[in-house]
Amino acid sequence: DRVIFMHQGRVHEAGAPDELFANPQTAELRQFLSSIH
Output the pLDDT for position 37: 76
Say what the pTM is. 0.82
DSSP string for residues in 1-37: --EEEEETTEEEEEE-HHHHHHS--SHHHHHHHHHH-
In angstroms, the CA 15 to CA 35 distance is 20
Output the pLDDT for position 28: 96
Q: What is the pLDDT of residues 1-37, one digit of tens each?
A: 999 999 999 999 999 999 999 999 999 999 999 999 7
Domain boundaries, the chain: 3-36
